[in-house]
Amino acid sequence: MPKDNSIQSVLIVGSGPIVIGQACEFDYSGSQAARSLREEGIKVILINSNPATIMTDPMMADKVYLLPLTFESLEQILEENQIDAVLPTMGGQTALNLCKEADELGLWAKYNVRMIGVDVAAIDLAEDRGQFRDLMLRIGVAVAPSKVANSFLEGKEFAQQIGFPLVIRPSFTLGGSGGGFVHSKDELDDALKNGLQASPMHEVLVEKAVLGWKEYELELLRDKNDNVVIICTVENLDPMGVHTGDSITVAPAMTLSDTAFQEMRNQAILMMRSLGNFAGGCNVQFALNPETEELIAVEINPRVSRSSALASKATGYPIAKIAAKLAIGYALDELKNQITQTTSAYFEPALDYVIVKVPRWNFDKFKGANDTLGLQMKSVGEVMAIGRSFTEAIQKACQSLENEAVGLGYYGKSLMKSEELIQYIKIPKWDRIFRIKDALMQGISVKTIVQATGIDRWFIYQIQEICRIEKEIAGHSLETISAALMKEAKQNGFSDEQMARILHNNCNAEQVYETRKAMGITRVYKMVDTCSAEFEAKTPYFYSTFE
């Protein structure tokens, strides 16, 4: 069944100003959705209070309103325009909350506007912590022991029943805003007050903390026929306890057994189907016990999320674009796959490369700010790197951070002593990945680092491999390094500048480049091919590597 022709005009609600904990990935999604709908001949009206984004460029929509994201602004737009439907899923939690408020106040009913891409019942089920917990238990998906509190005294009572450590999760907030860990009674009062204050519903979930468990995210799309595809499975390098927006993340998932992966897929699909009958995108987060592979659901977001923007770029699958078309009535098998141009959009990407996302922070601009990472997102952006291996991708990402790193390492900086390092890496901070590498360079064992950080040993072994190659390079000068070692270094993400700093004679990046060029070691460009060459891909999207 093709698109719904009764939808001639759509209002897209943006995410408002860019603030810490809510980066500009939603502008990418909103822009994609606007283009996707206009391709179908649909008139697009857009509201966003932020002029500093491509989303509010006059070319993006038929009409752009630079107005505060309020009920009054929405009413003004509906009075001035004939609007058939509203798409709230492209503007993050801000847009969802506003559209839910408008629904409760009868605005959509008054102007005969349909909500597409999600429905109010789904927003309530996903964002109201109590309803989400009850729904999961009804459909047989495990969650951490928890209780919903609407008052300070109720929260204190539940906390004593559940026991420490605890997580306080406010309802209807974005970026973990107002959330936090409580390790003892002394911290409980402040954490509860902050959480209740941050929630627009004055409601928090008091939950048993599963600190140290592994964290995964799945990106899903569903159409009106209940077909579901899982676009991407993302693994957080940091264990539970660090907001996913502040975690280094890797796609595809690297340390999942097939049984755990299949179980995660089944549960994610069950969760999305249980939310209601809407067609669109969804993001599901899981925690996995590394010892037993016990799985619990952390949350579900019935919208395009920050992670969806990453998954789109990582897989080449245009999630926001397809989600917008599903919202106006298309089925997945009716849409053309944007990558192959021949197969349908009803397929799941298969990757033959590794994606690493590393967040960026600006703590130096906020003197006195607490730089310990936790449930509340603090990053102001992120970099994404593509490589043929994790080692190549993590080094390329670190080179892009604009913080004087020339790969996974600061060269010529004073190092901490071993005991100091072990204590330092126990607390998640922005530079923990660099300090883990310092620890390995000093000979601290993988086992000790795994115990201190809770990071899966596979990732630590990969960083140890970078250390092994670096130590080997350090034993050579530019004149004595072999072509085989040079090639191995380049394939593991070492930049020319990094090589120049490690080699024990004084040379620069330009000389390293000329030497490797003479050895025949030059970049090749590979296509971001979501089908792993199963079908011919036509995406003009490439990354460089050394194969």
List, as one string, the DSSP characters of 152-196: HHHHHHHHHHH-SSEEEEETT-STTTT-EEE-SHHHHHHHHHHHH
Residue 377 CA to residue 17 CA, distance in Å, equals 16
Task: Give the model's confidence band at 499: pLDDT under 50 very low, under 70 low, under 90 confident, else very high.
Answer: very high
Q: What is the pLDDT of residue 263?
A: 95
| Residue recorded with tokens 């000389």 | 511
- Could you tell me which residue, 480 or 302, shows the higher pLDDT? 480
Mean pLDDT of 71-83: 90
What is 145-208's CATH topology? Dna Ligase; domain 1 (3.30.1490)
- DSSP symbols for 268-307: HHHHHHHT-S--EEEEEEEEE-TTT--EEEEEEESS--HH
Q: Which CATH number is correct for 403-527, 3.40.50.12780, 3.30.413.10, 3.10.20.30, 1.10.1030.10?
A: 1.10.1030.10
Mean pLDDT, the chain, whole residue set: 85
Top-tier CATH class for 214-349: alpha beta
Q: Read off the pLDDT band of 208 (50, 70, 90).
A: confident
Residue 117's closest CA among 274, 224, 271? 224
Tens of pLDDT, residue by residue over 36-47, are 888 889 898 888
Boundaries of every domain in the chain: 9-116, 145-208, 214-349, 403-527
Q: Is the full-model pTM beyond 0.75?
A: yes
pLDDT at 539 over 70: no
**Antiparallel, parallel or unpaired: β 85-87 and 114-115:** parallel
| Under 8 Å between Cβ of 59 and 97 | no
Each residue's pLDDT tens digit, 405-425:
888 876 656 678 888 899 999
Of 304, 230, 222, 227, give the one whose Cα is nearest residue 261.
230
pLDDT band at 491 (very low <50, low <70, confident <90, very high): very high
Q: Are 63 and 90 in contact (CB under 8 A)?
A: no
Q: What is the mean pLDDT of residues 264-285?
A: 90
CATH architecture of the domain covering 9-116: 3-Layer(aba) Sandwich (3.40)
| Euclidean distance between CA atoms 325 and 322, whole angstroms | 5
What tens digit of pLDDT does each residue of 328-346 get? 888 888 887 655 556 678 8
Query: The tokens of 371 are what?
Result: 């730089």
